[in-house]
Structure 1
Amino acid sequence: MVSFYRAAGDGLRLRLKVRPQARRAAIDGVVPDIEGEALAVSVTAPPEDGKANAAVVALLARAWKLPAASFAVVQGATARRKLVSITGDPGTLAAIIEAWRSSRA
């Protein structure tokens, strides 16, 4: 199965399934997706004027202790399925995500 993240030249690309206007903000875990896996993320923000996208970025940045400025929604800005990039060393970023993933197992 294809992981929810992959290396790109300047960092990583993440495949997300976002649920806006949820009761609580949380990273819900890895779920099956058309292309393999996606990271399910719930945010309390509404899907208007980029509020949900900003909430997703803030949540991921806080969870992984990375600067929010290193995240960008590169595909699916108005959709629930998104492709998000994280700028940085791909190996270091992958290690951060795998450590987070292991801590949740």
Structure 2
Amino acid sequence: MGGAVSFAQITPEGLRLRIRLTPSGRRDGFDGVMLDADDNGVLKASVTKAPEDGKANQALIKMLAKEWKVAKSLLDVIQGQTNRNKVVLIRGDADALNKQIGDWAHSQDFA
């Protein structure tokens, strides 16, 4: 199973992911996929860290790396550093990453 991920875009440098982050949440985790104003899929995530000094972004990167079993050094918040709506880049083989995250999303019933 798996396949294209609604919240991801394949790019030459890797995979771009649209994420809506809720900082200062009750738990670190994922809350499904929603559509944004442009009907693009967005992965909803929450972290317990507060949005100060980049702590929430760091917690998001750590959570994504652990969940998807990729090195933290391959992940970067490239848009939305101070906004809830973020774009995260995972550097690497975009097709392989898309399949891996697609399989994960299907296993979570997010796809």
SS class of match (1:99): helix
After TM superposition, the score normalised by the length of structure 1 is 0.95
CA distance in 1, matches of 2:73, 2:97: 14
1:37 aligns with 2:51: no
Cα distance in structure 2, aligned partners of 1:67 and 1:27: 19
1:25 to 20, 25, 28: 28
Alignment partner of 1:13 is 2:16 = yes
Report the count of equivalent residues. 104
- State how far apart, in whole Å, the 2-side matches of 1:102 and 1:40 are: 15
CA distance in 2, matches of 1:45, 1:95: 29
Structure-to-structure mapping, 1:84-103, within 5 angstroms = 84-103=88-107
1:10 Cα deviation after fit: 1.0
- What is aligned with 1:47? 51
Which of structure 1's runs of 4+ aligned residues deviate more than 2 A? none
Quote the sequence identity (%): 43
After superposition, residues 56-95 of structure 1 pair within 5 angstroms as 56-95=60-99
Stretches of structure 2 that go unaligned for 5 or more consecutive residues are none
Alpha-carbon distance in 2 for matches of 1:22, 1:49: 17
Length-normalised TM-score, structure 2:
0.90
Deviation at 1:52?
A: 0.2
Give distance in 1, aligned partners of 2:70 and 2:37: 28
State the AA in 2 paired with 1:40.
K
- Once residues 11 and 52 of structure 2 are traced to their aligned partners in structure 1, the CA distance between those partners, rounded to angstroms, is 29
